[in-house]
Each structure stands twice: as C-alpha cells, then as structure tokens.
Amino acid sequence: KAGVTQTPRYLIKTRGQQVTLSCSPISGHRSVSWYQQTPGQGLQFLFEYFSETQRNKGNFPGRFSGRQFSNSRSEMNVSTLELGDSALYLCASSLAVGQAAYEQYFGPGTRLTVT
C-alpha cells in the first residue's frame, strides 16, 4: 500500500508570495492533518480535515488555510508569505478523525524556504 505523498518536496518562495502544498493520503484514509515543523517551535498542529470539512484548527493566522477534496486529497495554502513561514510542512493521514484513537501516518514533508 502506498504511503502518504506530499508534493512538492522542496519549494523556494519570496516574501509576499503565496504557496499551495499538496497531500495525498493512504488509500482508504479519510482524515488528513497538517503540521508545521521548525527548529524553534517544534511540531505545531495546523488543521485537520475529514470528509471535506475542517474538524480542528491550530493557533495559526488566517493566512494559513486548507481544504480537502472528495477523494480525501488535501491542499494547504499560505498567502502573503513571511520569512518565519520557512519550515517543513508535514501531512498525516488516518482512517478517521480523532488523532488519539486513529494512528497517523506521516508523509516526508514539503520543505518551504521563504527568501
């Protein structure tokens, strides 16, 4: 069974631009979560989607948004990029909503660098 795939793997953007990251979950998984990983803040939860609906949201500004499609694939968008948005963005999929109850399977991440 194929794992979680994230595209692109690496991305370089300029301050003020916007970016869209994509995540394809494991076949049959309907929940997708997004995390931001930085050396200073560690892993921080962005949001979780299930059945095309946002079920949970972390403490991030409105510049960070996401969506989920009917095939469970998910995208996240960051508008008006800032230098501090440079990070590894991780996507995780699970069978259903509820990170404590359902094991999350992580993708390799998208490394975003903002210059």
Partner 1 sequence: AQSVTQLGSHVSVSEGALVLLRCNYSSSVPPYLFWYVQYPNQGLQLLLKYTTGATLVKGINGFEAEFKKSETSFHLTKPSAHMSDAAEYFCAVSANSGNTPLVFGKGTRLSVIA
In one-letter notation, the amino acid at residue 45 is F
Quote the least distance from Cβ 59 to partner 1, whole Å: 11
Question: Of residues 63-92, which lie at the interface with partner 1 (CB under 8 A)?
Answer: 90, 92
Q: How many residues line the site for partner 1 (CB under 8 A)? A: 23
Q: Shortest CA distance to 84 belongs to which of 41, 47, 114?
A: 114
Tell how far CA 85 is from the center of its chain: 13
Instruction: State which residue, 37 or 65, has the beta carbon closest to partner 1.
Output: 37
108 binds partner 1 (CB under 8 A): yes
Q: What residues contact residue 55 under an 8 Å CB cut-off, 6+ apart?
A: 31, 48, 49, 97
60 binds partner 1 (CB under 8 A): no
Quote the least distance from Cβ 16 to partner 1, whole Å: 29
104 binds partner 1 (CB under 8 A): yes
Q: Are 39 and 110 in contact (CB under 8 A)?
A: no
